[in-house]
């Protein structure tokens, strides 16, 4: 079980106005962050096998992103990432129990433990803001981020929060 705290690190929020966005009058923001600490450390093949043998074979993580201007919320999004454990006999994988990562309803089958951790715990999202979400003019925006997961053999239930730096955008 993990005793080391988890945290949200390396948060960046950038404006990325694409050519097609300018035509549609949509503002695109690029949000990147990593989930580090205890949860990332205990998410490994040894713990997967023990958890699988105890019928604890699905890790589910919810990510809530709220875009704000001052105290005003104008966009809320929820992302879910899942990591089902399964028995494998693949000659490419040296472990009996392995993991697939389901990200944006698309399954990924990582070849290494580091790739699995990166797929699950590194977040890179493009957030589109429509013209009716914000009025024309200058805005100071930031993202409130909340990540949570339930109790498993290798970790307790936890909720971590953080926020990005404020960026200036003209919309």
Q: Are 127 and 65 in contact (CB under 8 A)?
A: yes
Q: Are 111 and 93 in contact (CB under 8 A)?
A: yes
Contacts of 24 (CB under 8 A, 6+ apart): none
Confidence at residue 126, expressed as pLDDT on a 0 to 100 scale: 92
Domain boundaries, the chain: 6-64+78-162
Instruction: Please give the span between the terminal C-alpha atoms of the chain, in angstroms, as a whole number.
Output: 47
Helices and strands counted in the chain (H then E)? 4, 11
Confidence at residue 139, expressed as pLDDT on a 0 to 100 scale: 85
Q: Are 141 and 164 in contact (CB under 8 A)?
A: no
d(CA 44, CA 61): 16
pTM: 0.88
Confidence at residue 71, expressed as pLDDT on a 0 to 100 scale: 85
Q: Quick: pLDDT tens for 44-85.
A: 999 999 999 999 999 999 999 999 988 888 889 999 999 999
Residue 45 phi, psi dihedral angles, 5° rounding: -60, -35
Confidence at residue 92, expressed as pLDDT on a 0 to 100 scale: 87
Confidence at residue 23, expressed as pLDDT on a 0 to 100 scale: 54
Instruction: Report which DSSP code applies to 152.
Output: B
Q: For each successive 10 residues of the chain (171 residues), what is the average pLDDT?
A: 83 76 72 96 95 96 94 90 94 92 95 96 91 79 96 94 90 68
Confidence at residue 102, expressed as pLDDT on a 0 to 100 scale: 97
d(CA 66, CA 73): 7
């Amino acid at each position: 079980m993990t005793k080391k705290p988890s945290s949200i690190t390396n948060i960046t929020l950038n404006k990325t106005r694409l050519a097609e966005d300018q035509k549609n009058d949509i503002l695109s923001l690029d949000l990147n962050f990593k989930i580090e600490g205890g949860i990332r450390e205990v998410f490994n093949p040894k713990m997967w096998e023990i958890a699988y043998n105890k019928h604890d074979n699905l890790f589910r993580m919810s990510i809530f992103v709220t875009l704000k201007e001052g105290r005003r919320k104008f966009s809320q999004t929820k992302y879910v990432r899942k990591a089902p454990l399964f028995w494998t006999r693949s000659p490419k994988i040296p472990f009996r129990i392995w993991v697939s990562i389901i990200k944006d309803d698309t399954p990924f089958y990582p070849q290494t433990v580091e790739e699995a951790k990166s797929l699950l715990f590194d977040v890179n999202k493009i957030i589109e803001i429509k013209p009716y979400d914000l009025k024309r003019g200058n805005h100071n925006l930031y993202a409130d981020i909340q990540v949570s997961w339930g109790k498993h053999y290798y970790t307790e239930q936890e909720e971590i929060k953080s926020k990005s730096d404020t960026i200036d955008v003209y919309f």
